[in-house]
Structure 1
């Protein structure tokens, strides 16, 4: 669900600027950052707009002594037991509301400054490839994440011609090209990478985009003509 007054794209840019995204949305944003210059500008604008909020936060959770005092008052209350039970239930609700409010404040703080996330001792650097599409400013963005053994293929901005499909291939140092599947225009696709394929991906590995019949490359036939190419580089 979008934040009030924000489009889905603006929300994605804001949350990416502040390191709140994870999973598929994070991969989508990373793909847009390299394939869509206007999206990258939106992210930078959100970072500049929200950073000053960091100095405005203050603690809002009541201290333990407040809850102790309320509990003590309830224990001393001479009203019927049913009313005391109701009050105890309400105090638990207030405590829960306080925790939720504190969590919301922390979440808002993350909107104000990028989160400092604990990283693995020796994280593997992502690999990225920007494949130019003809003479247009469009790019097919491919991101390989070694730590999660996943690849994101972002075809944002591309449109289908209704006659052909385009297929992405990894050209390893040895052997025939390996199909990474049909590119779906206008979509970001995440795919798991098995160990055997992961061992063949490295900085400098080539990627090619071929034109194929609708549905993709036909089994037991040669790949179609290459229409674009690029290579993985470390980020």
Structure 2
């Protein structure tokens, strides 16, 4: 697993995209719009994202959503009552159109993976897998999204693991039994990783994911955590 830290330029581009998508809180949006008014370079970034997302919307024919669309999204992400903007995104976007939901999820990929502009591929790849990892007391530890087509893994932890001196490690729980270590993760901030090789293949098959807390500087064996398993969740297709 390789970490891909975000550069200041990528963070600025992400903020511009989030402003374009209107997924910021009221205070964050007000601050971002003030910045756009004072910073021509940032304003141009916002305009560029407006154009990119506008193309997506222009090419989509309206379609009435099925009655189970939002219950399905809520059951997978736990987003219905979560006040955080990153999770409210799933409910805010795609109102009134199932096809627009697909475009909005494509926009999530733009935000999460921060890609360079690419030419859209016509082929449909493997479906993104998502999970909500919960603690023993029922609290949400983090949400996870995995794209089997690219091997990109996105983690969005809550504040439940902050302050713990131990290091969280992510595990795959395999359908036939047993576990496989993905690697150490950041339990205090959103992050993205690229899975490759055997771990990439297993991540597309795993039934569940879990987090163990390991001592600093210690890496457990690939098939057995040494520290306590504090959170787990089922992987589902979205």
Structure 1 or 2, whichever has the larger Rg, is 1
For normalisation by structure 2, the TM-score amounts to 0.49
